[in-house]
Amino acid sequence: MKTFLVITVTSPDHPGIVERVTRVLVEHGANWEESRMARLGGDFAGIVKVSVAAEKAEPLQAALEALSDEQITVTVKTTQPDAPEQPAEGRVYELRLTGADHEGIVHKVTAYLAGRGVNVETMETDVRPAPVSGTPLFYMQAQMKVPLSLPLSELQADLADVGHELGVDIEIAPVTDDATARP
C-alpha cells in the first residue's frame, strides 16, 4: 500500500535545494509525482506530491523534516491520492486580471469568488512595469471551477463590478479540455 505526502520547501534561492530533497526521496524509495516550484523574490518555494510504500512513510517524513535548518524549511503532510475524475460539478473558467498594483486585489477577488462557491484551482500573480510608463502593473491568472447554478452572465457582471471598484480589468473565458490537459 502506498502513502502520499505533500512536501513544501522554502529557502533563500541557491543551487542544490531540489537535489537535497530528491536525494532523501531516492534513499527512501519514494516516487516524485507532481510539483510546482518558483523563485519568488530571492527565495525558492516548492510544493511536491510524492508516493512511498506505507512502511517507509514515517522514516521518509522524519528524514525530510531533518533537512530543515537556518537556510531551508521543509514541511511534510500526509495526503490522499487523486480521486478518479468525477463528472464535472461545475464549469472551468480562466480569469485574467490586469491593473495598477495596490493592496487588496487578490483578497477582494477571491472573497467574491468564495462567497459564490467558486473554487480557485490554480493561480499565478506577478507585478511587472507597464511598457511605456514603468508603473507597476499587477497581473493575475487563475483557473476556477464555477458552480453550475451560477450563470456566466451573472459572474461576468459581478466581476466587472469588482474590477471597476478595484480599478482593474477582469476577463473570464471558458477553459477547453485541451487547455487543461497536462503534459
Q: Which residues pair with 136 in a beta bridge?
A: 129
Query: In the chain, what are the domain boundaries?
Result: 2-79, 90-180
Residue keyed to cell 498594483: 101
pLDDT tens track for 21-53: 999 999 999 999 999 999 999 999 999 999 999
User: What global pTM score does this model have?
Assistant: 0.78
Give mean pLDDT, residues 60-72.
Answer: 93
In this predicted model, which residue has the larger pLDDT, 33 or 177? 33
pLDDT tens track for 106-155: 999 999 999 999 999 999 999 999 999 999 999 999 999 999 999 999 99
90-180: CATH class = alpha beta
- CATH code: domain 2-79 is 3.30.70.260
Shared fold status for 2-79 and 90-180: yes
Those residues whose C-beta lies under 8 Å from the C-beta of residue 31, and which sit 6 or more positions away, are 25, 50, 51, 52
Q: In what order do the strands lie in the sheet with 73-79?
A: 31-40, 43-53, 2-12, 73-79
